[in-house]
Amino acid sequence: MSDLPPLRFSVCIEKIFEELPFEQRMEHIKDHGFTAFEFWGRDRRDMNITLALKMALRLEVVAFLGSSASLVDPAQRAQFENDIKRSASLAVDLSCDNLIIHSGPKLPGVPRERQRDSLVEGIRSVLDIAGDAGVTLLLEPLNAIDFTSPYLTSSDEGFDIIRELNHPRVRLLFDVYNQQISEGNLSTRMIKNLDLIGHIHVADVPGRREPGTGEINYRYLFKLLRKHGYRGYIGLDYIPQTDSKVSLEAMRVMMKQLED
């Protein structure tokens, strides 16, 4: 047995048990031995029920989407700020430490430098809100295959933005699936910037399927993250290739093997 602390995993309940009502998914991941979850958005969902179930099942809420507003578009700044205020309040109620944010799509005809300035200014405008609520803003680069013209696809640029902001309440969400598609060289990019990563999402290429079903060597990456002392959560943000129960059991087996 290794003396290194085990990695911590959370389950994104958007695609896992997708056939079930949102609240029942929480019960099912608990039944399969997971103690933490995350989700995308709160729209059309009763967060009072989510809170009650989270407490009854003794689950931890790791992250959810803080805003869908575009950071590169100054016209959406007010919406972004209002969304973050509302989401930060919910995060406090849920005892959730993280809010996920995205750059938004590229603006045609607008210089890239101006779009980046808007992105940075937008994040900076809500840092006091994040600090007061005790939440971390997780900036997630997306890939340009599954998403329509996102401004931020590069983790390298994302890390530069985090460094420019230089604030403990802003970190990068490194989505391994997105970054394999966008740029590759995963292990070097993660380990070199590990102090700037607040959360990790995992899924395999192609198809955003379970880790271990595609081209990414997840056993190597997980062992490397553990060796280098990554203490954040790793979110299982994938589309099951098989039955959700079978899929989660396979992930549990992989997690157990990593502890040896």
**Strand 136-139 relative to strand 60-65: parallel, antiparallel, unpaired?**
unpaired
Rg from Cα positions in the chain: 18
Domain range annotation of the chain: 8-258
Percent of the chain with pLDDT over 90: 93
> What pLDDT is stored for residue 132 in this prediction?
98
Identify the pLDDT of residue 260.
Answer: 66
Q: What pTM was estimated for this model as a whole?
A: 0.96
The pLDDT-based confidence of 2 (bands split at 50, 70, 90) is low
**Mean pLDDT taken over the chain:** 96
Q: pLDDT tens-digit profile of 120-167?
A: 999 999 999 999 999 999 999 999 999 999 999 999 999 999 999 999
Overall average pLDDT of the 165-174 stretch: 98
Three state DSSP letters for the chain = CCCCCCCEEEEECCCCCCCCCHHHHHHHHHHCCCCEEECCCCCCCCHHHHHHHHHHHCCEEEEEECCCCCCCCHHHHHHHHHHHHHHHHHHHHHCCCEEEECCCECCCCCCHHHHHHHHHHHHHCCHHHHHHHCCEEEECCCCCCCCCCECCCCHHHHHHHHHHHCCCCEEEEEEHHHHHHHCCCHHHHHHHCHHHEEEEEECECCCCECCCCCCCCHHHHHHHHHHCCCCCEEEECCCCCCCHHHHHHHHHHHHHHHCC
CATH top-level class for 8-258?
alpha beta
pLDDT of residue 258: 81
Is 21's pLDDT higher than 80? yes
Read off the pLDDT of residues 180-195 as tens digits, 9 standing for 90 and up.
Answer: 999 999 999 999 999 9
The per-residue pLDDT for range 27-72, each reduced to its tens digit, is 999 999 999 999 999 888 999 999 999 999 999 999 999 999 999 9
